[in-house]
Structure 1
Amino acid sequence: MRRADRLFQIIQILRRSSRPVTAAEIAGELEVSQRTVYRDVADLIAQRVPVQGEAGFGYILDDAFDMPPLMLTPDEVEAAVLGAQWVASRGDPVLANAARDLIAKITSVVPDRLRPLIADPAIAARSTKPPPMPDRIDLARTREWIREGRKIAIDYLDQHGEPTRRIVWPIILGFLDDTRMLAAWCELRQDFRHFRADRISAATFLEDGHGVRPATLRQRWKRDMTERHQAGSAR
Structure 2
Amino acid sequence: RAAEPRLAGAGADALAKIAAVLPVDMREMIDSAALFVGPKRRDEDKADVSAIRKAIRLERVLELHYGDEQGRISRRRVWPFALGYFEHVRVLMAWCELRQDFRHFRTDRIIDMALHEVRYPRRRTVLLKEWRETQDVPIES
TM-score by length of 1: 0.55
Out of 82, 89, 92, which is 2:4 matched to? 92
Deviation beyond 6 Å, 4+ runs, structure 1: none
1:212 shift after superposition: 1.1
TM-score by length of 2: 0.89
Deviation string for 1:101-155 (max 9, x for gaps)?
Answer: 111110121123322223x32424142x662411111112211211221110110
Supply the distance in 2 between the matched residues of 1:146 and 1:110 (Cα, whole angstroms). Answer: 33
Q: How does 1:4-15 map to 2 (within 5 A)?
A: none
- Alignment-derived partner of residue 123 in structure 1: 34
| Structure 1 unaligned spans of 5+ | 1-87, 228-235
Q: Specify whether residues 98 and 130 from structure 1 end up closer, same or farther in structure 2 by C-alpha distance, changes over 3 A only.
A: closer
Total equivalences in the alignment: 137
Out of 148, 154, 166, which is 2:64 matched to? 154
After superposition, the CA RMSD in angstroms is: 1.7
- Alignment-derived partner of residue 21 in structure 2: 109
Write the letter of the residue equivalent to 1:140: S
- Give 1 or 2: higher strand fraction: 2
| Structure 2 unaligned spans of 5+ | none
- Identity rate, percent: 38
Supply the distance in 2 between the matched residues of 1:199 and 1:160 (Cα, whole angstroms). Answer: 11
Q: Specify whether residues 204 and 117 from structure 1 end up closer, same or farther in structure 2 by C-alpha distance, changes over 3 A only.
A: same
Equivalent residues of 1:148, 1:214 under 8 A apart: no
Structure showing greater Rg: 1
Equivalent residues of 1:150, 1:206 under 8 A apart: yes
Out of 206, 217, 223, which is 2:116 matched to? 206
Write the letter of the residue equivalent to 1:137: A
